Amino acid sequence: MKPQRKMQSKAAACSKRNSALIFFMFLFFASSANNLQVSNLRINLNNAEEFAIIHVDVSWENSWRTESSPYNWDAVWLFCKYQTADKKWHHAMLDSTGNIAPINGVIKSVPEKTGVFIYRELPGEGNVNYTDVSIKWNYDSVDINDILKIEVFALEMVYVPTGAFALGSGGTELNHFVLITINTADATVKPSGNTGILNTKSGGYPPGFPPASYTDYPNGYKAFYCMKYELTQSQYTDFLNTLEPLQATARYYDPASSPKDPRRYAIVYDTIAEKYYCNAPDLPLDFLDFKDGAAYADWAGLRPMTELEFEKACRGTAIPVANEFAWGTTQIYHSDYEFINCGSDSELIANPSIIAGNAIYRETLGSLNGPARVGIFAASSPNHSRIETGASFYGIMELSGSIGERIVNYSTIDGRNFRNINGDGAINSAGFANAVSWPAVKDGGGTRGGKFNSPVQQLRISDRETSNKTLNARDHNIGWRFVYGLK
């Protein structure tokens, strides 16, 4: 499998033309070097049966689907919001039937009806261009005459298949899990025996800890979709611009009101236009606390990732290597990177390693005052190998280094109370996630994977030095990556 480059989310909007329910479509999206594009938005209405067919074209580069290990694919998570006359935004519930997949593509609906996954039908790799992707929206009790705008959002995801995997590497990482094979989706099954990977115990949770509170705690065995890249500043800006003022204020970090170094954070609020703007759309978003990330995940129909899922996303089904990084070896580049086009959407590294894994951390940061743009190693590497791009077993990028990945930990009661419940597309009036079982303000949270200013050991897959660290405040080196949990 060829590691993939970054794709950027886009939004499309439509405005009501007249009371006869004829819509004139406007498409808005910022140019991006990474080329996930949602374009040509049209809507066909069926007033009698109260549904609409949303038509869009979707394209992105470096797509793949494998017919051998790791038996996975990349996908786009596509979801819709609509704005009513009172200026409030609402999540569109997309039907599980009536969708029309593009040629050579698949549209996969989800039980919550919060969005759809679009991906390749057959094995292959390269660019895809799906025209006339048709998605059914049952607007039911919504007064269609009351709708001002419809926006379509897209996030690039990677499918992580169901299956057993090694938790822990058998190495010397700080606070590491004892090596075990997670071989069941039931997170209350006690570890036992010696028939697992490398003759380890097998079970549903790590040795030395209590069982999860619920059988459906996401322990990594069951399939899930993981964001290919960390949440970007443009994606979060899109989120802020669909919130009510009180909600947005609660979820916005204003660098002008903080003494902290912004470290490349570049989201600003225009008080005249009453809109949020982003001056660094491709950079991963830092300065997010647990409340901020949980709200975004709920709004997007996703959920936080557990630290067991984090290790599965990194290591996959491979035999663990003691003290390994996300690309599967213990070798990592140790010199300053030289950056080209710094701050642009074509930001690159002039001197990436071709023999050791690449990551942004304390020893490679050079003159950069914060994280590099997402997907920078895939864009900079000459051969696009897993080591060069820093890709995980499944093709997920920057799981070692960049910014700390907030996760749901296993060490705390709140963490073990977590369940496989995805967001419903809405947050409460105060700007908080309303999903049942998600950890509260900070309890149950932590980070994995290391940060741009971390020492090298924190970038190892199984390092848990910060997995149980209390992180209530927004910090300059911590962000998010979300998943969709399959049932």
pLDDT digits (tens, 9 = 90+) for 67-111: 999 999 999 999 999 999 999 999 999 999 999 999 999 999 999
From residue 369, how far is each of 114, 183, 265, 348 by CA, in Å? Answer: 37, 42, 10, 15
DSSP classification of residue 398:
-
Q: Which domain holds residue 379?
A: 162-487
The closest alpha carbon to 234, from 440, 5, 458, 33, belongs to: 33
Q: Quick one: pLDDT at residue 33?
A: 35
Rg (CA), the chain: 22
The enclosing domain of 456 has a CATH number of 3.90.1580
477 domain-assigned: yes
User: Within 10 Å of residue 78's Cβ, how many Cβ atoms?
Assistant: 22
Question: CA 228 to CA 67: how far, in whole Å?
Answer: 20
**Inside any domain, residue 260:** yes
Task: Say yes or no to pLDDT of 8 above 50.
Answer: no
The answer to whether residues 27 and 47 belong to one domain is yes
Residue 155 maps to a domain:
yes
Both structure tokens of 451: 């940060």
Residue 7 included in any domain: no
353 in the same domain as 316: yes
Instruction: Give residue-wise pLDDT tens across range 382-396.
Output: 999 999 999 999 999
Residue 8 belongs to a domain: no
What is the Cα–Cα distance from 402 to 451, expressed in whole angstroms?
A: 5
Looking at the structure, tell me whether residues 209 and 150 fall in a common domain.
no
pLDDT of residue 473: 78
The answer to whether residue 2 is domain-embedded is: no
- Domain boundary at 100, 128, 160, which? 160
The pLDDT assigned to 1 comes to 41
Q: Is the pLDDT of residue 444 over 90?
A: no
Per-residue confidence at 16, pLDDT binned at 50, 70, 90? very low
One domain for residues 229 and 354: yes
Q: Note whether residue 389 is domain-resident.
A: yes
Give the model's pLDDT for residue 141. 82
Domain co-membership, 124 together with 212: no
| Residue 365 sits in the same domain as residue 426 | yes
Which residue from 324, 451, 481 is spatially nearest to 392, judged by alpha carbons?
Answer: 324
SS3 content of the chain, % helix, strand, coil (to 5): 15, 30, 60
Q: Which of 120, 145, 160 is the last residue of a domain?
A: 160
- Identify whether residues 99 and 181 lie together within a single domain: no
160-214 pLDDT, tens digit per residue, is 999 999 999 999 999 999 999 999 999 999 999 999 999 999 999 999 999 999 9
pLDDT at 383: 92
Whether omega before 262 lies within 30 degrees of 0, making that bond cis, reads no
Examine the domain organization and report whether 68 and 190 are in the same domain: no
**Same domain flag for 149 and 295:** no
Q: Are residues 385 and 475 in the same domain?
A: yes
Where a domain ends, among 160, 193, 212? Answer: 160
Q: What is the pLDDT of residue 40?
A: 95
> Considering the domain boundaries, does residue 1 fall inside one?
no
Span 106-155, pLDDT tens digits: 999 999 999 999 999 999 999 999 999 999 999 878 888 899 899 999 99
Whether residue 139 is found in the same domain as residue 199: no
pLDDT in tens, 36-58: 999 999 999 998 899 999 999 99
The model's confidence at residue 443, banded by pLDDT at 50, 70 and 90, is: low
| Model pLDDT for residues 324-346, shown as the tens digit of each residue | 999 999 999 999 999 999 988 89
Q: How far apart are CA 207 and CA 144, in angstroms?
A: 55
- pLDDT tens-digit series, residues 240-290: 999 999 999 999 999 888 888 889 999 999 999 999 999 999 999 999 999
Residues 296 and 167 in one domain: yes
For the chain, the domain total comes to 2
Q: What is the mean pLDDT of the chain?
A: 91
